Amino acid sequence: MGWIRSALFQAGMILSLVAFALLAPLTLPLSFKYRYGFLTRWGAVVLWWLRVTCGVRYRVEGAEHIPHTPTVVLAKHQSTWETIALQRVLPPQTWVLKRELLRLPFFGWALALLRPIAIDRAAGRRALAQLLEQGAERLKQGIWVIVFPEGTRTAPGTRGRYNIGGAMLAEKTGTPALPVAHNAGEFWPRNSFLKRPGVITVVIGPPIATAGRKAGEINAEAEAWIEETMARISQATAVPATAAS
């Protein structure tokens, strides 16, 4: 049944993606606020369909830590799930991502309308300069910036190298850095077709002050908090589905 449920989910996700992508050009005359509001409804559809077909729900701890001003988010990266779900958990946002994603049919077309910071990872310093310039611009426009410091998805129980770009953006702009941990990889594993029923735990940490601090210090504090929190949350701590979203 797990394979059948996962197949139903995959089919529904793709069909809904095509539908939203075909409607995406109609949002071009709209401001970012309204364009974002419409296009990210796809994420709500996907999370609902994931719950219906695969029994995957989620809960959020620490919502009281979400600032009222644009923020740089430093988030754990384990799954595709968090790239969708953070749209529902946090205010209007954009993402630092590899530019190859914009070339994907349908998904990339719609994604390009949400003003992502699409970088060439092989570009080194030029990619970092792009992140700092465009990230500062997005923050001034009231758009949150989501950064996955590890750069690529990691398996549960492991960590990647925490790149410093997001912390540098926070330092340069004087913006708080908001650490986010979650265990989505236990239920929607990377590179896996099969989804596992259960409750994903998302934990939002206290904002990290950046005034007068160096990027390395900010990055180290975010990494320590995220990894300590990852050690605490696991599949064994999942709550009954009735308590989750």
pLDDT higher than threshold 50 for residue 9: yes
Q: Is there a contact between 191 and 139 (Cβ–Cβ < 8 Å)?
A: no
Angle at which helix 41-54 crosses helix 81-89, to 10 degrees, equals 120
Q: Which amino acid is at 33?
A: K
Tokens of 236: 């064994």
Please write the tens of the pLDDT for every residue from 127-163. Answer: 899 999 999 999 999 999 999 999 899 999 999 999 9
Q: Does the pLDDT of residue 122 top 60, yes or no?
A: yes
Of 114, 67, 110, residue with least CA distance to 91: 67
What's CA 23's distance to the chain center, in Å?
23
Question: 184 forms bridges with which residues in the sheet?
Answer: none
Q: What percent of the chain has pLDDT over 90?
A: 80
3-state secondary structure of 52: helix
pLDDT surpasses 60 at 235: no
HSE of 158 in the Cβ direction (CA atoms, 13 Å)? 12
For the segment 224-240, the average pLDDT, to the nearest whole number, is 78
Integer Cα distance of 78 and 156 in angstroms: 7
